[in-house]
Structure formats: C-alpha cells, structure tokens
Chains A and B, each alone.
Chain A
Amino acid sequence: MNRSENMNMNMNMSNGENGYNGNTGRRNKTAKERLLYRLQVCDFALHECALYLDEHPYDPAALQYYERQKALHRELSEDYIKRYGPITYFDNQNQNEWEWAKGPWPWELNENGEEE
C-alpha cells in the first residue's frame, strides 16, 4: 500500500454519515445539529489530513484533498456562524451585543436531555 492509499483509508473512516449513530434515531436532529455535524466531519477530514501531511509534506493527493476540504470548511463555517453565532471569539457578528459567551456550550443539554 502506498502512502496516499494509506491516507485515504484513514480519512474515509469517518468522512460520511456511517460513523455516527450517537443520537440512536430517537428524535430527528435539528437543522443546527445537522449543519454542525457537517462542519465536524469537515474539521475531522482536515485534521486527519494535517496529521498525515506533517510527515508527508509533498504528497500531491493529500495536498489536493486538503485544498478541497479547506474550501468546504470556509463555506460551512461561514454559514454556521451566520445562522447560529460565533465558533471562536473572532466571529462575533453583532456590533451591539457580545454573543460569544452566550450558551449553550458544546457539552450542555437542556432539561429534557436535548441539545438546544
């Protein structure tokens, strides 16, 4: 197996819907959860790519994959921030309110055990 095949195998593991069944189908995911999940998948693909590229910095297939995911990441993050608020404190959009520190924080569920 050559290096780029090895890399693609690692990245395909969780680059689709099949790696995730955490909500066990008990209720439909909200639009926010769905968009967040797409962003998390893209984050993951980029992170896997980075770990591989650290030691294989000239691999053309990996670099090409990185560029593709980077473009998708920009698109998804901008969309998410516009709809649901800042991901980092660089993203506050409202000039009249500091929205960064508004909950829910990522580990929090509401009284019914659901994400808000």
Chain B
Amino acid sequence: MWVYQKKLQYPVHIHRPNPKLAKIIITQLGGPHGEKGAADRYLQQRYSMPFERVVGILTDVGTEELAHQEIVSSIIAQLTRSMSVDEIEKNGLETYFVDHTASVYPQAASGMPYSAATIAVTGDAIADLSEDLAAEQKARLSYDNILRFLDDPDVIDPIRFLREREIVHFQRFGDALRDVKDHLDKKNYYAYNPEFDGKN
C-alpha cells in the first residue's frame, strides 16, 4: 500500500505563471516518456519478478516516480494559475481548455492522452530491465529538450532535479540487470525465462 506524505519530493515555487511552458512540460506527466508511465511500468513489472532485490528496486523507483508525477503536476498547476481567457487564447491553450479548463490532465505535448501503450510489462526479466534502462534515457532526453525552451530559474530548477533522477535510476537499473544475469546461465542468458520457466 501507499501512504501520502504532504510534501513534494523537491520544492516547486514558480513566481511567474507561463501557460506556454505548461503546454510542453505536460508531456513529462502523460507523454510517451512521462512520469506516469514510469510509475506504471515499474510497479506493474514487480508481480512476476522472481528476484527479491530487483523487486525492491522496482518498488522504490516506482514509488519515486509517483512523487515525480506530483512534481510535474505542481509545475503545470503553478504555470497555469489565474489565467485569463485572453491569455489562454494568446498562448494557444484553448484546445486544452475546452476539455480540461485549468485542471492538470495526463497527456503528451501533442495532446495524445496518457496511454499504457507507451510502456512495456513483458514478464521477461532481461526485456523488462532493458526497457527500464531505455525509459530512463528517454525521460532524460525529454527533460534535455524541455530545458532548451526554459529561461525562468524557478522552472529550470525542479526540471533539472527530475533530469538528474533519470540518470541515477539508470545506474540503479544497471545494478538490477547485473543481479538478474548473476542468477542466469552464464553461457546463455536466454536459455530460460526466470519469470516463467520452471514455475509451470
């Protein structure tokens, strides 16, 4: 289970609203490399994972991704606070506004709603952890691309924190993949799938 803690993992305090930035940053909530997908991916991969330490990593990184979902959502909420209809129109947010008003909906920058089709839960330990390593790099590059458009230090600061976490998670999933391989046949890592073979 989870228990909510009434604090952000990293402070978000944006003095100047800027709806135009919200339009691109929202992709890290509900886009193909976003935090919501990250949380779903890692937490759902746990149930067939036979190695306890790897389940530990998936649980703790997955839980941190929930905290990142909240940080990105807080950034969107603060960037779009007290918008006038004029500002909505000027910044091209009217297509979002008609469906969601000033709420925070998980979607990509393109407008595509969050989809579990952007994540993989394969039930194969090597495939899942390779997916996780790639996912961390994809999130990192999205933050790098977002940073190209930012000049407000209030926004840059939490985005940089999130970017840095992707790199740390990449290292930790590297540990996990090594752990999986240590359990497998050294002459042929693909000789059997430890999440399926031998259990049936």
Closest CB-CB distance, A43 to chain B, in whole Å? 7
Q: Tell me if A55 counts as interface (CB < 8 A to partner B).
A: yes
Taking a contact as CB atoms closer than 8 A, the residue among A22, A36, A51 that contacts B12 in the complex is A22
CA distance A23 to B12 in the complex (A): 9
**Which has the most chain A C-beta neighbours within 10 Å: B6, B10, B73, B154?**
B6
Closest CB-CB distance, A81 to chain B, in whole Å? 10
Closest CB-CB distance, A57 to chain B, in whole Å? 7
**Is the pair A23, B6 in contact by a Cβ cutoff of 8 Å?**
no
Q: Tell me if B89 counts as interface (CB < 8 A to partner A).
A: no
Instruction: From known contacts A20-B157, A48-B168, infer whether A107 and B7 are also in contact, taking CB-CB under 8 Å.
Output: no
Closest CB-CB distance, A55 to chain B, in whole Å? 4
List CB contacts (< 8 Å) of A98-116 with chain B: 100, 105-107, 109, 113, 115
**Is the pair A51, B57 in contact by a Cβ cutoff of 8 Å?**
yes
Taking a contact as CB atoms closer than 8 A, the residue among B60, B73, B77, B178 that contacts A54 in the complex is B60
List CB contacts (< 8 Å) of A30-59 with chain B: 33, 36-37, 39-40, 43-44, 47-48, 50-52, 54-57
List CB contacts (< 8 Å) of B145-200 with chain A: 153-154, 157-158, 161, 164, 168-169, 171-172, 175-176, 178-179
Instruction: From known contacts A50-B60, A55-B53, A107-B73, infer whether A26 and B6 are also in contact, taking CB-CB under 8 Å.
Output: no
Size of the chain A interface, CB-CB below 8 angstroms:
38
Task: Sort chain B's interface into a size bin.
Answer: 35 or more
CA distance A106 to B12 in the complex (A): 9
Q: Tell me if B87 counts as interface (CB < 8 A to partner A).
A: no
Closest CB-CB distance, B17 to chain A, in whole Å? 8
Closest CB-CB distance, A65 to chain B, in whole Å? 16
Q: In the complex, what residues of A have CB within 8 A of residue B179's CB?
A: 55
Instruction: From known contacts A22-B13, A24-B153, A109-B78, infer whether A54 and B53 are also in contact, taking CB-CB under 8 Å.
Output: yes
Q: In the complex, what residues of B have CB within 8 A of residue A24's CB?
A: 15, 153-154
Contacts A44-B10, A115-B13 aside, 7 further interface pairs with beta carbons under 8 A come to: A20-B157, A23-B11, A23-B154, A40-B9, A51-B169, A54-B53, A106-B70
- Ordered by A's residue number, 10 sampled pairs between the chains whose C-beta atoms are within 8 Å are A22-B11, A22-B153, A24-B153, A40-B7, A40-B9, A40-B10, A44-B10, A100-B6, A107-B74, A113-B81
Ordered nearest first, which 9 A-B pairs have the shortest CB separation? A107-B74, A54-B56, A55-B175, A22-B157, A106-B8, A54-B57, A51-B172, A88-B3, A24-B153
